[in-house]
Amino acid sequence: MYRIIRMIGLSAFLLFTLSIYGGLGSLDADERTTWSEQWKVETSHGQETVTVLWVNLSNPKVEIESALADKVIGKTTTLEKLVQSQTDSEGLAVAGINGTFFNAYDDFQPTGTVIRYGEVEHIGNSGSVGVMNAAGQFTVEPLFIAIEGGINDQWEWPNNWYAWNKNHFYTDPLASMVFDASYQGPKPTHSFTGIVVEAGVVKTIQKGIFTIPGDGFLILTQDKTIIDKFKVGYKAAYRMKGYVNAYGTGKHTDEAIDLSQLRTAFGAGPTLVRDGKIVVNPTGEGFTEAKITVNSATRSL
């Protein structure tokens, strides 16, 4: 399988994988998996040369997948090394491109949504999200992901709880966070209460810890109403729910998006063109920084 990769910054990326049956050179034009072209494009700043990568998504030998540096959240490497690291006995990595944004100037944590092989690795509820479903179809969605927690198999009040994000550390004392073994980002000294859930059972409740079990997850929170819900020995779990994003509000609409149908996703944006029409609206997708809303720069798309 050849792999093509969608990069998430320099810490993760989208991976395209292609099955190898005789090699690229033996493919007829209608069987091609990937090919590239150089284009001259006229812009308001003059003529630019761009490299265009084409991917034949109808070819069953093609697989597109998000990927992470060292397969964890919080690590970084070069784009070239990210692509090279994805070649294995099952596939050949042939291309990659930057994916979601990440904190390039301090802790290298991603800021956008990352789903790999159907598993939500990180949530970022601003910007558009590129999605590959189980059938290999690609769409761009206004995806919002919410974390819903439950205790002793109960998901309604008073046994429900919530978290802001998965695998992202916040210093904000109002934050509630969930971490699993994929997280290798910053683990600073903190004043949050840690709730360690291993094999579905609460094992430890202790202030200041940052212990992430291999078979479970860690909750960090200072919210007393959440902390008081947990007792050592209780069962605990969380689930992800997908909705249509109500950009700019920090909330979502009531319209659901079925996460079980999403194999791969990477949050970036803003969307530039839809159905042949320019629709770019970074502010409307929740972006506030000038580098996204007004500044010119070299971009990948």
Hey, which of 42-46, 72-76, 120-124, 147-151 has the most confident mean pLDDT?
147-151
275 Cα distance to chain centroid: 25
Q: Round to whole Å and give the CA distance between 241 and 236.
A: 17
Angle made by CA atoms 189, 194, 195, in degrees to the nearest 5: 165
| Section 207-214 average pLDDT | 97
- Mean pLDDT, the chain, rounded, equals 86
Q: Is 285 helix (H, G, I), strand (E, B) or coil?
A: helix
Confidence category of residue 36, pLDDT binned at 50, 70, 90: confident
Q: Which residues pair with 115 in a beta bridge?
A: 120, 265
Q: Which residue has the tokens 């399988």?
A: 1
Q: How far apart are the first and last CA of the chain?
A: 24
Residue 136 · residue 229 · CB < 8 Å: no
Structure tokens belonging to residue 288: 């506030």
Hey, which of 43-52, 72-81, 95-104, 144-153 has the most confident mean pLDDT?
144-153
> Pseudo-torsion of CA 148, 152, 156, 158, nearest 10°?
-110
